[in-house]
Amino acid sequence: MAKTHVTMKVNGAEVEGLIEPRTLLVHFLRENLQLTGTHIGCETTHCGACTVDLDGMSVKSCTVFAVQAEGADILTIEGVAHADGTLSALQEGFRMMHGLQCGFCTPGMIVRAQRLLQENPSPDEAEIRMGISGNICRCTGYQNIVKAIQYAAAKINGVEFQEAAE
């Protein structure tokens, strides 16, 4: 099969590649671009570990062909920190609230949560849980992930984070 030339923007940088059309976006990111922060978990569109932001949408990059992303603007976990290398509010929230144990789901969780907070800057707990319902974590029981996102929302909104009583 003929290879196809693709160009897209990933974390602000123009990238290109010559790939088979069957190349999945997650493989293009990990293998062609060496951006291995985006993880492959289930490979069956369930777990959300491979979530990236594509033109303002959270998508599971194991279920998108790279050729479908031609011309797209993509954000992966590698592009989340501030330009000076300091942690974003969400990254800081995951650290401060202990929002990870093994960390495998974390890149997908953070990229998904970033889109969620852009669409809804002050989500309540139920909205956060629905918002990350496409991302599976097998360690935390989600409680500290929800807190991490609440922490980030508070920080972005410039209000003091109040941890809910358990």
Partner 1 sequence: MIPGPFNYHRPATVADAIRLLATYGDDARPLAGGHSLIPMMKLRLATPEHLVDLHGIGDLKGIRRDGNAIVIGAMATQHDLLASNDITQAIPILQETALLIADPQIRYMGTIGGNVANGDPGNDMPALMMTLGASYRLQGATGSREIAAKDFYQGAYFTALAAGEILTSIAVPIPATGHGYAYEKLKRKVGDYATAAAAVVLTMAHGKVATCVIGLTNVAETPLLAEAAANAVIGMALDAATLQKAAAAASAIMSPAADSRGPVEYRKHVGGIMVMRALTRAAARAK
Strand, coil or helix: 152: helix
- For partner 1, the binding residues in 102-141 under the rule CB under 8 A are 112, 116, 130-134
How far is it, in rounded angstroms, from Cα 2 to Cα 142?
Answer: 44
Residue 39 touching partner 1 (CB under 8 A): no
Strand, coil or helix: 94: helix
How far is it, in rounded angstroms, from Cα 6 to Cα 13?
Answer: 14
Residue 21 touching partner 1 (CB under 8 A): yes
Span interacting with partner 1, options 14-22, 28-36, 76-84, 86-94, rule CB under 8 A: 14-22
How far is it, in rounded angstroms, from Cα 151 to Cα 166?
Answer: 16
Beta carbon of residue 97, minimum distance to partner 1 (angstroms, whole number)? 21
Nearer Cβ to partner 1, position 37 or 123? Answer: 123
- For partner 1, the binding residues in 43-82 under the rule CB under 8 A are 43-46, 48, 51, 57-60, 62-65, 67-68, 70
Q: For residue 25, what are the contacts with CB-CB under 8 A and spacing of at least 6?
A: 52, 54, 59, 61, 62, 64, 65, 66, 68, 69, 74
The residue count for binding partner 1 (CB under 8 A) is: 32
How far is it, in rounded angstroms, from Cα 141 to Cα 132?
Answer: 13
Residue 27 touching partner 1 (CB under 8 A): yes
Nearer Cβ to partner 1, position 43 or 78? Answer: 43
Q: Which residues bind partner 1 (CB under 8 A)?
A: 1-2, 4, 20-22, 24, 27, 43-46, 48, 51, 57-60, 62-65, 67-68, 70, 112, 116, 130-134
